[in-house]
Amino acid sequence: MNVLQVAGVKLAGVRFALPKREVDNRETCQLLFGDKAESILKTSGILKRRVADKGETSLGLSCQAAEELLGTLAVDKTTIGGVVAVSFTPELAMPGNAQLAQARLGLGNDVAAIDLNHACAGYPYGLYVAASLVRDLQKPVLLLDGDVQTPYATMNTAAILGDAGSATLLVPDHDSGAWEFAFYTDGSRAGELKLDGKLVMDGFGVFRFVAIDVVKLIAGFMQGRKADLFVPHQANVYMARELARKLDLADRLAIIGDKYGNLASASVAVGLAEAMAGGFGGKALLAGFGGGLSAGVALIDV
Q: How far is the CB of 120 from other proteins (least distance, A)?
A: 16
Residue pair 267/257 in contact by the 8 Å Cβ criterion: yes
Cis peptide before 18 (omega within 30 of 0): no
How many residues in total does the chain contain?
302
In the stretch 144-183, what mask flags binding to other proteins with x, by CB under 8 A? ------------x---------------------------
Stretch that binds other proteins, among 38-46, 141-149, 257-265, 283-291 (CB under 8 A): 38-46
The residue type found at 73 is L
Helix (H, G, I), strand (E, B) or coil at 286: strand
Q: List the beta strands (DSSP E) in the chain.
A: 4-6, 9-17, 21-24, 48-51, 82-86, 112-116, 141-147, 164-172, 179-185, 193-196, 198-201, 229-232, 283-290, 294-301
Residue pair 208/172 in contact by the 8 Å Cβ criterion: no
Q: Is residue 243 close enough to count as binding other proteins by CB under 8 A?
A: yes
Q: Which of 106, 151, 203, 220 binds other proteins (CB under 8 A)?
A: 203
Q: How far is the CB of 297 from other proteins (least distance, A)?
A: 16
Closer to other proteins at the Cβ: 36 or 198?
Answer: 36
Q: Which of 23, 190, 211, 302 binds other proteins (CB under 8 A)?
A: 211
Closer to other proteins at the Cβ: 80 or 161?
Answer: 161
Q: Is residue 40 close enough to count as binding other proteins by CB under 8 A?
A: yes
Please report, as ranges, the residues that interact with other proteins according to CB under 8 A: 35-36, 39-40, 42-43, 156, 202-204, 207-208, 210-212, 215, 238-239, 242-243, 245-246
